[in-house]
Amino acid sequence: MTRLPDQMTKTPGEGDAGVVTETRAKTKRPPLYKVMLLNDDFTPMEFVVLVLERFFGMNHAQAFELMLTVHKKGVAVVGVFSFEIAETKVGQVMDFARRHQHPLQCTMEKE
């Protein structure tokens, strides 16, 4: 008969005579971060569409629709990523906007 290792089936410290309790080493998923775009009155719509295409892999129709959502609602989540990826995206967008002298704001928030 195949037997599982004790650490998978026994409470620590428990002998063979004890009650069998299944335990598993805890695996924790890394936290995820929402990346958000904020509306403003000055950044051109086409520039926001370009940002969504270039940094978030959207096609033109998806990018246009999400840009309009931000324009109407004030803010929208444009993607959910690990901390490192989210930080990189925010940096890329902020840098791109600054270089073009647009006040576009991109932020991240733990999900």
User: Interface with ligand TYC by CB under 6 A: which residues?
Assistant: 37-41, 43-45, 48, 67, 70-71, 104
- Least separation in angstroms between CB 33 and ligand TYC: 18
Q: Which is nearer to ligand TYC, 58 or 67 (CB)?
A: 67
Rounded CA-CA distance 88/15 in Å is 50
- Least separation in angstroms between CB 6 and ligand TYC: 56
- Least separation in angstroms between CB 7 and ligand TYC: 51
- Least separation in angstroms between CB 91 and ligand TYC: 17
Amino acid at 111: E
Alpha carbon separation from 96 to 25, 50, 76, 92, 111 (Å, rounded): 44, 10, 19, 6, 25
Rounded CA-CA distance 35/76 in Å is 8
SS3 75: strand
Q: Which is nearer to ligand TYC, 33 or 51 (CB)?
A: 51
Rounded CA-CA distance 98/111 in Å is 26
Q: Which is nearer to ligand TYC, 6 or 53 (CB)?
A: 53
